[in-house]
């Protein structure tokens, strides 16, 4: 399926116009993306803080568990030493067991203290975590309508871009291959203009270099497509003057 597309110079100009519209829409889609990121940023930052606190809580819980197990083991040792104390036969032996018992009990005390202090830290961190989470949720719900609005605009413009791309595809199918491929080659190079109309005083409509008189006449009389010697764009007659382009894009040289 193709659409009626008129003379080649106006076809190329119209194609270029569509491409520019598509580019502009893509830029807008991207700018919406930027807006979305800017709106999400504060909540994102808070989410990172929440994650950091969660990691600290997890680490402290692991440390607490490790200390609890160590304390448990020391409690068993204390128990065993106390049993041994009942079986000692000499004063010397008793003194040795008492000494060891003293050491283990002190270590146990210290670990129990550490567990308490860790639990205290964990408790405070969990409070902070709750506050951070609440703050994050608050910011998230505060920006939710704005996000939704941006997303809706983005969606609308995406479907606009999609339908324009479909129209552009159909339109391009109606353009003679050889002209289309010259145009596409120029457009793909990333330049802003691939085709430009000649100005009234015979200059390239893109870079304003003067086009040799003979070529000017050909452009005006036969609608010939000429490649600008200075900047490389396809120079055409203005659409209302152009007749069908019968010659290939030719270099001035
Ligand atoms: Zn030029």
Q: Tens digits of per-residue pLDDT, 189-206?
A: 777 889 999 999 999 999
Q: pLDDT (tens digit, 9 = 90+) per residue, 60-117?
A: 999 999 999 999 999 999 999 999 999 999 999 999 999 999 999 999 999 999 999 9
Paired strand residues for 235: 196, 226
Q: From the CA of 211, how far away is ligand 1's center (Å)? A: 9
The tokens for 127 are: 């409070």
Instruction: Give yes or no for a contact between 163 and 22, defined as CB atoms under 8 angstroms apart.
Output: no
- The whole-number pLDDT of residue 222 equals 83
Find the helix packing angle between 8-87 and 91-173, rounded to 10°: 170
Q: From the CA of 225, how far away is ligand 1's center (Å)? A: 13
Domain ranges of the chain: 10-173, 177-251
Q: From the CA of 234, how far away is ligand 1's center (Å)? A: 8
Q: From the CA of 206, how far away is ligand 1's center (Å)? A: 5
d(C-alpha 68, C-alpha 235), whole Å: 83
Q: From the CA of 165, how far away is ligand 1's center (Å)? A: 28
Environment of ion ligand 1 (residues, CB < 5 A): 204, 206-207, 228, 230-231
The architecture in CATH of the region 10-173 reads Orthogonal Bundle (1.10)
Q: Fill in the DSSP letter of residue 156.
A: H
- The whole-number pLDDT of residue 107 equals 96
Is-above-0.95 flag for pTM? no
d(C-alpha 249, C-alpha 189), whole Å: 17
The tokens for 25 are: 């829409």
Q: From the CA of 215, how far away is ligand 1's center (Å)? A: 13
Backbone angles phi, psi at 7, to 5 degrees: -65, 155
d(C-alpha 186, C-alpha 219), whole Å: 19
Q: From the CA of 195, how far away is ligand 1's center (Å)? A: 9
């Amino acid at each position: 399926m193709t659409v009626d597309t008129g003379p080649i110079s106006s076809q190329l100009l119209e194609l270029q116009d569509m491409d520019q519209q598509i580019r502009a829409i893509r830029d807008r889609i991207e700018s919406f993306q930027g807006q979305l990121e800017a709106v999400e940023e504060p909540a994102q930052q808070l989410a990172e803080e929440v994650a950091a606190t969660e990691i600290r809580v997890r680490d402290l819980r692991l440390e607490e568990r490790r200390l609890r197990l160590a304390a448990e083991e020391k409690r068993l040792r204390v128990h065993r030493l106390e049993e041994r104390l009942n079986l000692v036969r000499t004063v010397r032996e008793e003194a040795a067991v008492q000494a060891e018992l003293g050491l283990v009990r002190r270590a146990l005390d210290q670990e129990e203290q550490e567990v308490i202090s860790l639990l205290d830290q964990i408790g405070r961190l969990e409070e902070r975590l709750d506050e951070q989470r609440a703050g994050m949720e608050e910011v998230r719900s505060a920006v939710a309508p704005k996000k939704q609005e941006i997303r809706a605009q983005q969606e609308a413009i995406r479907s606009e871009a999609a339908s324009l791309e479909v129209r552009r595809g159909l339109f391009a199918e109606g353009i003679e291959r050889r002209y289309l491929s010259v145009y596409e080659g120029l457009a793909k190079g990333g330049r802003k203009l691939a085709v430009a109309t000649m100005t009234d005083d015979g200059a390239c409509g893109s870079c304003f270099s003067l086009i040799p008189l003979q070529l000017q006449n050909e452009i005006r009389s036969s609608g010939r497509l000429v490649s600008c010697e200075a900047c490389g764009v396809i120079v055409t007659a203005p659409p209302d003057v152009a007749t069908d382009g019968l010659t290939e894009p030719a270099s001035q040289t």
